[in-house]
Amino acid sequence: MLLAPHIAYLGVDTGGTFTDFVLFHQHQVRCHKCPSTPEHPEQAILNGIKELGLSGLIAAGQLMVVHGSTVATNAALEGKGVRTVFISNRGFGDMLTIGRQTRSNLYDLRPPAKVVPVAPDLCLETGGRIGADRRVIEALTEADIAALKRQVQTLKPEAVAINLLFSFIDDRFEKAIAAAMPKGVFVSRSSEVLPEYKEYERGMATWLNAWLGPKVADYLGRLQAALKTTPLSVMQSSGGTTDAANASQRAVNLLLSGPAGGLAAVKHLGDSLQRPRLMSFDMGGTSSDVALINGDIKLTNEGSIGPYPVAVPMVDMHTIGAGGGSLAYIDEGGMLRVGPESAGADPGPACYNKGGLKPTVTDANVVLGRLPASAKLGGSMPLNIDAARRAVGALATQLQLSIEDAAAGILAIADEHMIRALRVISVQRGHDPGEFSLCCFGGAGGLHVCALADALGCPEIIVPNYGGVFSALGMLLAPKERQLSRTINTALASISSDVLVQHFHNLAVTGQTQLHGEGVQDAEITEHPSVDLCYQGQSYTLNLPWQNSVADLEAAFHHAHEQRYGHRLELPVQLINVRQALRAATAMPDLPSLPPRAPSQAEELCPVFIADDFYATPRYLRDELASEQFITGPALISESVATTWLAEGWQAKVDTQGHLLIRRLKRGMTASS
């Protein structure tokens, strides 16, 4: 969609510690951070809007907001969904409890008891069973409907999840049950949430959508009411946006809402710099997210949130509990540990001077001088260095180390957590990190990126401009999107190309209708059809884009299977799912180039602990750097929302749009090489 010149566009990413803002207005970009308000997330957004002085634009109807929400994620991780009834066919009420009967740790002989998603008394069974051959095995009677209505009225749930067998083939019974539910109850149907085979995964997605739906709908309702008539879009887990009305009914599609915004920005960055192979590293206050882009953002339908599988499309990302606010402590065996528990936004790290007493990764960076005394987090929060030293000092005393050595140990452990995560999405999937640039963003990422690149052998680091608020920027760069799918489950050889194209068209019509409601025109929509294929008898599929004919599709599958697994089989190919992604790109203009100016000098010399002592280290202000300027480490590069630690042996070059392109110095190179 084209951006209107008189409209201001605001990207908002709500994190565990900070809420980030990127404002694009009249070809200018403004960045802002304010502390998150976890109990009422919308309050931080309203605080930021006030601090940015946007109230007048709201009153004039000249602001549009795109938001990455953590409400669904946090509620799922904390187990704080609403009271939800789960309805399935007779004999299948406990399908979510039984699951796949797998163990997360295969050789653990005493595995902990799994979380039961739905209490037995909230699992209801009824008729309305369809067979795989489309026949009605058991009808849904009026008596069944009446019984369900009585049970639901007695249980008084806030939400109902309906998951009948083979409802993706025939959804009439699910629709009948939904129509009979009491008014005011949030109803989620599996045939609408995820019309695909695998009743357990479909049921989990439907239950999650119902369990989290009222929380998300209530939150978005409050935020929209506060924004009055301001249009509000929400980032989905798949990397595209949807309007708030649709998002309020699709909570399960928002579980990676914020991180997906970061990947949208990384993809845009890779395209603009002609770097198609990127590993992204997003380190915030509470967690770190890593992903790999090899030409395009990879989606998965095998994701999870906490203990729950999530089969709706989401960006293929690996998340760990290691962020700037991760707490350092000594375990029962006397070993130093870092994370996953976080100090959060309140009280936050000790250096925030808000009452935090326990040492964190941020405090360790303060102690070592990588966050200098003159730095202000979020552009306005001063650092209390004495409080950071006291917090780390208490840990150092227990470890019988100096404060600086204890701080270095905290960072080394945090770095190792992140290195392992990056290896999961690269080495463990057959990719050589040496063939990828490491793109680092997030408020804390720049402080650790050189150590990670060293360990992984990455030849280049990219610290993008606006990297401290990159996910919020990604909200503005992401397309409006709908992801649609349907299970076909037939031999590929038994279906014609024309019939398959008709399936794609049917899905496209549904998505186009939804996008029309957001003001998107047909000419702006691009279609991205794909299919899930496997050999007959296999349980797992490969997703391939449509290849113009069934014959080409089969050949592409054999090649893809051989590339992934090292062999191909002489077996028939099975078509499982058809998928259609509809996107309407936002015509975001290029970010402003740096104005012509002379290379800037260091703002000051700061004491930074390197190896064994403090050394005077130059600190540069990123906003004053010139295009084509070179900086050689060790150095600090500070901006209002992030700091980059340029370690010894690395050199940064500033490109025309202010991105830092960092490469390891070769022997004999100088600062102007």
* Digit-coded pLDDT (tens) for 415-462: 999 999 999 999 988 889 999 999 998 888 899 999 999 999 999 999
491: left (phi over 0), alpha (psi -120 to 50) or beta: beta
DSSP characters for 340-361? EEE-TTTT--GGG-SS--S-BH
Domain borders along the chain are 8-76+217-254, 79-215, 480-584, 604-664
Q: Which residues pair with 621 in a beta bridge?
A: 638
Q: How far apart are CA 392 and CA 323, in angstroms?
A: 16
Which pTM does this prediction carry?
A: 0.86
Confidence grade of residue 671 (pLDDT, cut at 50, 70, 90): very low
Cβ atoms of 259 and 418 closer than 8 Å: no
Q: Is the pLDDT of residue 668 over 60?
A: no
pLDDT tens digits, residue range 451-470? 999 999 999 999 999 888 88
Distance between CA 162 and CA 174 in Å, rounded? 7
For residue 244, CA distances in Å to 52, 65, 86, 240, 247 come to: 23, 10, 26, 13, 5
Residue 622 DSSP class: G
Q: Which CATH number fits domain 8-76+217-254: 3.30.300.100, 3.30.420.40, 3.20.20.70, 1.10.760.10?
A: 3.30.420.40
Identity of the residue numbered 563: Q
**Cβ contact 96:125 at 8 Å:** no
Q: Cα–Cα distance between 277 and 495 in angstroms, integer?
A: 36
Per-state percent for the chain, helix, strand, coil, to nearest 5: 35, 30, 35
Give the residue from 518, 563, 510 showing the smallest Cα distance to 242: 518
Tell me which fold the domain 79-215 belongs to: Rossmann fold (3.40.50)
Paired with 86 in beta bridges are 123, 161
pLDDT tens readout for residues 200-257: 999 999 999 999 999 999 999 999 999 988 999 999 999 999 999 999 999 999 998 8
Q: Which residues pair with 610 in a beta bridge?
A: 613
| DSSP helix/strand/coil, 668 | coil
Distance CA 224, CA 218 (A): 10
- Count CA atoms within 13 Å of residue 206 on its CB side: 33
* pLDDT winner (highest mean) among 285-289, 340-344, 443-447, 607-611: 607-611
To the question of domain 480-584 being in CATH 3.30.1490, the answer is: yes
